[in-house]
Amino acid sequence: MKTTWPGLWMTCTTVLLLGCPGDDTGSDGTDSATSSADTTEGDCTPSDEVNPPFDESTCAPAANDYTPTVNGSADDAWPACANDDGAYHPLEQPGSAARTEAFEQMRTIFAAGLTPDDFTAAREQYSLDQGIESRVVRREDVHFPNIPEAEQDPAVDFDKQCTIEANVTNYPDRCAGPAK
């Protein structure tokens, strides 16, 4: 007996179509006679029980808590603090802000004139601690190979090896800031 592909395809299609549910929208394919919407049992049922109001007195701060917003922290047991006034006071200006400020100051100096004193004043802004110079000196071109570990100074962080004069001389491509 020889079966052809069109005949096999028709037989499979017929079996699949007979197995599909009909257009009866009342049937969801389960054998249950009752709908889950008809039942009032379960965890999600609203309760007629009334909850008592929440006692907020248990949420009060303890006597030894730091409370800067209450009387400017004058009544707590803690010593005076910079932020007792409720304002944010950074410990020190972030380095990036200092570099931006120095750059703007240099621009202002050069806009006023180009005398030797102007260049000296700009150099002072350039050389401030954690300023622009500190970033230029340790700038590295990461497209070039790392400085070998044997030639790194163990007292200096890995990303600051270009601050060492010998590394600047030996690896001018890597230490692009100071060498080029």
Task: For residue range 69-92, list pLDDT tens digits in order.
Answer: 777 777 777 788 777 777 777 776
Alpha helices in the chain (DSSP H): 5-19, 95-112, 116-126, 132-137, 165-170, 176-179
Residue 152 located in a structural domain:
yes
Residue 16 located in a structural domain:
no
Residue 133 located in a structural domain:
yes
Residue 161 located in a structural domain:
yes
The pLDDT tens digits of the residues spanning 4-38 come to: 777 777 787 777 777 666 665 555 555 555 555 55
Say if CB 89 and CB 83 are below 8 A apart: yes
Lowest mean pLDDT among 45-49, 56-60, 112-116, 121-125: 45-49
The pLDDT tens digits of the residues spanning 140-168 come to: 788 888 889 999 989 988 878 888 889 88
Q: How many CA atoms lie within 13 A of 78 on its CB side?
A: 15
Residue 63 located in a structural domain:
no
Helix (H) or strand (E) holding 153: none
The strand ranges marked E within the chain are none
pLDDT band at 111 (very low <50, low <70, confident <90, very high): very high
Residue 88 located in a structural domain:
no
- Indicate whether 2 pLDDT > 70: no
Mean pLDDT of 100-119: 91
Residues spanned by the domain of 133: 95-179
pTM for the full predicted model = 0.36
What is the tally of structural domains in the chain?
1
User: What tokens does 139 get?
Assistant: 């700038």
Residue 66 located in a structural domain:
no
Residue 5 located in a structural domain:
no
